[in-house]
Amino acid sequence: MKETLALILNWNDSLRTVNLVRQLVTLKYDCDILVIDNCSCSREREILESLQTEYGASSFSNSEECERSPNVALRILLLPENLGYAKANNIGLRIAMNNNYKYALISNSDISLESEVLSSLIRCIETSSNIAVVGPKVVTPSGIINRPRRIPDAYEFILRPMFYPLVRIVERFAGVDSHFRLPNLYWVSGSFMLMSIGMVSSVGFFDENTFLYMEEPILAERLKGKDFIMKYCDEVSVKHEFGVSTKKLDKASKILRIQIASEDYFLENYRNYGKILITIVRISRFMYFRTWSPIIMWFNSILFKHKSNTNK
């Protein structure tokens, strides 16, 4: 019996999902795969149907019917509505738990594998009895590393956005990476991470009160209450086309509203921020998005034009 179930969350990104399935199938470490489709359009679901022909995948519309089978390594769960990141992944995690898998791999559809990453993550999570989640190095196509994060605090939510230009100057001068300011790792990227089903189930999986964003730090808070930790495994990496899914949302303002709602929920329910601090956080966000962000975009456009003219 395979001990790991790979969960791929898909929303109108079926070509990348199919490509990721093909990569997972070729890994030496053998796992079962469950594609969770978050109510994609009919055209995108037709693309997923190619997996039925290619790998003999079984398709389900009810999670209760989506049981482990020794003859079917790939299953597709077609959800009737878009439940967001936390709720949809929780359905997959409960399926993993009910079917006695030891581990679950959580992955976005816009991930590309570069090595035998799953074997390395399994070895890493088994190095200690209190490691609940482990994540690899996540690299964007441009080479930027989405590093693991430290615990979000007033520096990140208030000082940094409100005084961004000054903070960036100080950070660069001091050689400080804001993600690594505090001594202990807090959370790894939710775009690709391996979980211990037993440990994560003991804290109730993801908090389903968020639709998108802040799932990882919220999970980290839950795990911390049980003395479980997340670990960063930088010996292996995956490529992440960051933002592919969110770009498909209707408007940038909608994405921002979702992000703000999730951040406020996290701060109020997991960091014990009161109304006054929440208000200060909102003022800081306003300063960043209304003042500093347009200036940064303008400066970057000038810099890009200058580089383009220099290269002519």
pLDDT in tens, 257-279: 999 999 999 999 999 999 999 99
Lowest mean pLDDT among 151-155, 188-192, 229-233: 151-155
Tokens representing 167 are 């903070």
Q: Is 73 helix (H, G, I), strand (E, B) or coil?
A: coil
Tokens representing 185 are 């790792």
Q: DSSP string spanning 89-117?
A: HHHHHHHHHHTT-SEEEEEETTEEE-S-H
pLDDT tens digits for range 161-218: 999 888 888 877 876 654 444 445 789 999 999 999 999 999 999 999 999 999 999 9
Q: What's the Cα-to-Cα distance from 288 to each of 83, 261, 297, rounded to whole Å?
A: 30, 17, 12
Q: What's the Cα-to-Cα distance from 229 to each of 145, 176, 188, rounded to whole Å?
A: 21, 24, 10
Q: Tell me the mean pLDDT in the region 54-82.
A: 92
CA-CA-CA-CA dihedral for 114, 116, 117, 123, to nearest 10: -160
Q: Which DSSP category does 159 fall into?
A: I
Closest C-alpha to 99, from 127, 73, 125: 73
Place of tokens 């989506």: 66
Spatial separation of the C-alpha atoms in residues 210 and 87, rounded to whole Å: 8
Rg of the chain (C-alpha set): 20
Q: Please, are residues 39 and 80 in contact by the beta-carbon 8 Å criterion?
A: yes
pLDDT tens digits for range 113-129: 988 999 999 999 999 99
Lowest mean pLDDT among 24-38, 148-162, 170-184, 212-226: 170-184
Is the pLDDT confidence value at 305 over 70? Answer: yes
HSE-up of residue 183 (Cα within 13 Å, Cβ side): 0
Question: What pLDDT sits at residue 144?
Answer: 79
Lowest mean pLDDT among 38-42, 96-100, 109-113, 181-185: 181-185
Comparison of pLDDT for 296 and 246, the residue scoring more: 296
Residues forming a β-bridge with 76: 35, 59
Name the band, by pLDDT with cuts 50, 70 and 90, for residue 149: confident
Tokens representing 258 are 């979702």
Is the pLDDT confidence value at 300 over 80? Answer: no
Q: DSSP string spanning 114-170?
A: -S-HHHHHHHHHTT-TTEEEEEEEEE-TTS-EE--B----HIIIIIHHHTHHHHHHH
Spatial separation of the C-alpha atoms in residues 238 and 224, rounded to whole Å: 26
Q: Tell me the mean pLDDT in the region 121-147.
A: 91
Q: Which of 50-54, 241-245, 290-294 has the highest mean pLDDT?
A: 50-54
Comparison of pLDDT for 70 and 33, the residue scoring more: 33
Q: Please, are residues 99 and 210 in contact by the beta-carbon 8 Å criterion?
A: no
Question: What pLDDT sits at residue 165?
Answer: 87
Spatial separation of the C-alpha atoms in residues 72 and 58, rounded to whole Å: 7
Nearest 5°: the CA angle 54, 58, 61 is: 135
Question: What pLDDT sits at residue 247?
Answer: 56
Q: DSSP string spanning 258-285?
A: HHHHHHHHHHHHHS---HHHHHHHHHHH
Name the band, by pLDDT with cuts 50, 70 and 90, for residue 219: very high
SS3 content of the chain, % helix, strand, coil (to 5): 50, 20, 30
Q: Tell me the mean pLDDT in the region 79-93.
A: 97
Closest C-alpha to 203, from 187, 185, 226: 226
Q: Are strands 58-60 and 74-78 parallel, antiparallel or unpaired?
A: parallel
To the nearest whole number, what is the mean pLDDT of the chain? Answer: 89
Question: What pLDDT sits at residue 308?
Answer: 65
Question: What pLDDT sits at residue 183?
Answer: 41
Is the pLDDT confidence value at 91 over 70? Answer: yes
Residues forming a β-bridge with 268: none
Amino acid identity of residue 259, one-letter, is Q
